Structure 1
Amino acid sequence: MNKLPAREGWTWVKQGFALFRKQPLGLAALFFGYLLVTLALGMVPLVGKLLSYLLVPMFTVAFMQGCADAEQGKRVHPGLLLTGFRSPAFASLIRLGLVYMALAVLAIVASALVDGGVWLQVLLRQVEPDAAETKTRAFAAAILFTAFAQLIGFVLLAFTGPLVHWKRMGAGKAVFYSVVGIVGAFKPFVVFALSWFGISAIIGQVAHLIFGRTAMFQAVLIPVSLIYTIAAFCSFYAIYRSLFGAPESEARIEEIHP
């Protein structure tokens, strides 16, 4: 792993956009393919949501492979969603999925400290979503707590899938190196996160100034938001390369030029 200056965080953002421009349709197809799978699983009460956590490493590997292929000029296609399932490291990816699942469940259970367990009861269908208990600030805070805790956990595990798939690490070793890599690059990550937050805020404000709170505002903001969300996912490939080097299972990969 390489020691990186804080300004590298902005470089990752630029590289994400540059990579997305190489094959926007293919990378968008991968992203929306995963969204469709997640939405389909979400239709299955409770179990479907847990399965979606289990598949996070599979999607990470698929999207990272798509980014690597785009960088090399190869065609990116929805079939890459099966990359993790076809990987020799499939068993380790499933174990990573269980880690994601455990972290997600732990965050939900811990939210009971915020609202006394109402959010957990809603998820377990023991309380109706429109019940009086869900109209409190504590309930809203519990949802935010869960989302934030899961986000932090998932970011720390962001590179576990690629490390298992490309570097053939075991699940435990991949977790260690992913966490250490991100913590060790704390300053660049702060710049990276603030940059994306700033981009999101600026785009939202500009769209609001132009269109106001109209139907056109939503019509413009939603697709633009999806574009920079996909570019943000592409940025994580740039981060992986900065921290761990180019994918070892590939031949020579050219540098990204933003």
Structure 2
Amino acid sequence: MQAATLPFMSGWLWIRYGYKLFLSQPLAMLFWSMMTSVLITASYLVPILGQMILIASTPILTFISLSACQHIAAGRLMRLPMWVEPLRAPEIRRRLLGLGMAYLASCLTAGFLATLPFLDDLSAAINEQGVLDEHALIAAMQGPFITFGLLYVLISILFWHAPALIGWHKIKIAQALFFSMVACWRNKGPFLLYVVSWAGIFFALQFVAEFLGMLGLSPSSTQMLLTPVNIVLAAVLYCSFYPAYTSIFGDNNASAN
């Protein structure tokens, strides 16, 4: 399996093509964006366990998104039964669940490794009377957050293409992780631009929210105005995953299930 090496600007082209995919069937992708938002919100109803289930489900949700984009790119109208089509094959479902557990284990391990060196600083945020010093805690959390962020970059490289490689190529988890790592490393420039571009888009949206607040708009009104924008941006983000895969591994490798 050969992963192409793409020019730097491909990272921005993935976003542009994702936007075109979204415009092809906006209602379908808005539906999926809202569904994922509901799942994220529902995960907080059961603290810790809910988030763990959501993290473990990420590869399945990613493959569903990619499969939907594949149908849209082929000009097929997305219907409700088509959303569950990618999970009908028991072997694919089993491997994606296994990938999800590996992803969860990787995130938990990264969290542990990121926190361990800073335990003394975190403990110091609680005084002898057991009172939490919020300012000290915020300062103490900076180290773990930065460390986890760096570790998560490595995790993302391993898992980025793995759902598609397992779902469409039916390869083993270890092979999928390896091929994903190679593909991301060969295209580190485009992926850097891709991440920076999306970060810039979401920071711009945050700036708009702060600007509306400065104009006197209440936080609830600002949230009401920007929630639809967030849903659209999330839909475009999901759509951009598909060209990021097909431009590296080829359209012919995304075989229909």
TM-score, normalised relative to structure 2? 0.81
Q: Which structure's CA Rg is the greater one? A: 2
When residues 10 and 32 of structure 1 are mapped into structure 2, their CA distance, relative to the original with a 3 A threshold, is same
- Partner residue of 2:240? 235
1:249 corresponds in structure 2 to 255
Letter in 2 for 1:116: L
Q: 2:229 matched to 1:224?
A: yes
Greater relative contact order structure (CA < 8 Å, 6+ sep): 2
Amino acid at match of 1:238: P
Q: In 2, Cα distance between the equivalents of 1:206 and 1:54?
A: 33
Matches within 5 A, 1:131-142: 132=132, 135=135, 136=137, 137-139=139-141, 141-142=143-144
Contact 1:111 1:143 in 2 (8 A): yes
Structure 1 portions without partners, runs of 5+:
120-129, 252-258
Asked if the contact 1:114–1:138 (Cα under 8 Å) also holds between the matched residues in 2, the reply is no
Report the alpha carbon displacement of residue 208 of structure 1 after superposing the two structures with TM: 4.9
Counting aligned pairs with the same residue, the percent is 23
**Alignment partners' CA distance in 2, 1:117 and 1:73:** 57
1:89 is aligned, of 89, 92, 96, to: 92
- 1:172 alignment partner in structure 2: 174
Distance in 1, matches of 2:212 and 2:47, equals 41
Q: Within 5 Å, which residues of 2 pair with 1:206-225? A: 206=208, 208-209=210-211, 212=214, 214-215=217-218, 216-225=221-230
What is the RMSD computed on CA atoms of the aligned residues? 2.9
1:132 aligns to what SS in structure 2?
Answer: coil
Shift in Å at residue 17 of structure 1?
0.8
Q: Which residue is 2:11 aligned to?
A: 9
Unaligned runs of 5+ in 2: 123-129
Question: Cα deviation per residue 1:228-252 (whole Å; 9 max; x = unaligned)?
Answer: 222122111111001111244239x
Aligned counterparts, 1:1-258, within 5 A: 1-77=3-79, 79-87=81-89, 88-113=91-116, 115-116=118-119, 132=132, 135=135, 136=137, 137-139=139-141, 141-143=143-145, 145-146=147-148, 149-150=151-152, 152-154=154-156, 156-206=158-208, 208-209=210-211, 212=214, 214-215=217-218, 216-246=221-251, 247-250=253-256
In 1, distance between residues paired with 2:246 and 2:8? 16
Number of equivalenced pairs: 242
CA contact (8 A) 1:100 1:154 kept: no
Aligned-partner residue type, residue 179 of structure 1: M
Question: For the Cα contact (< 8 Å) 1:33–1:78, is it kept in 2?
Answer: no
In structure 2, relative to structure 1, the CA distance for the partners of 1:51 and 1:198 (3 Å cut) is closer
- Counterpart AA for 1:229: A
